[in-house]
Amino acid sequence: YVSVRFDFVETNGNVYDIWGVQLEAGSVATPFRLAGGGSKAAELALCQRYYSRDNAVDNYTAFATVSAQSTTTIRGSYRFPATMRTTPSVSFSGNFQAPGLDNGPFTPTMARLNINGGDIDIVATGQTFGKASTLRASNDTSAYIEIDAEL
């Protein structure tokens, strides 16, 4: 049985970050180890297996190249920053557009995706089959795509 408890009473709105905690089996403490062997890039890649968020950096940030697969689905080529630990959920926030597909601002919803990125199908009505475009923010710097494979 293992129990770890942190009690804080905070009334000033401060935020406390706790990092570098390691639980030991037995009575001997070992040196603290990072899962990625000390490499910041390896640590980031391990974290990105669980969660990633692609934020718009300007009003018309491009997120993926897409084409209309039917009147209700567009398919894009979208690469995750790392192979996800399991099939993630994908959510969109903000206004998007795919100007070459004749649709105005819309909030996409997922239809299908591959665990390693690659093909991503998005529900978007009013499409003309075969047309290609870019899925991008529609005059919205707060738009993002969130990929979540948390436990």
pLDDT of residue 103: 61
Q: What is the pLDDT of residues 19-49, one digit of tens each?
A: 778 888 888 888 888 888 878 888 888 989 9
Long-range contacts of 90-94, Cβ-Cβ distance < 8 Å, separation of 24 or more: 90/120, 90/145, 90/146, 90/147, 90/148, 91/145, 91/146, 91/148, 92/143, 92/144, 92/145, 92/146, 93/142, 93/143, 93/144, 93/146, 94/56, 94/137, 94/138, 94/140, 94/142, 94/143, 94/144
C-beta separation of 132 from 144 below 8 A: no
How does pLDDT run across 58-90, given as a tens digit for each residue?
999 999 888 888 888 888 887 888 888 888 888
More confident residue, 54 or 124: 54
**In the prediction, which pLDDT does 56 show?**
96
- Mean pLDDT over residues 117-122, rounded? 74
Whether pLDDT at 140 is above 70: yes
Q: What is the pTM of this model?
A: 0.72
3-state SS assignment for residue 30: coil
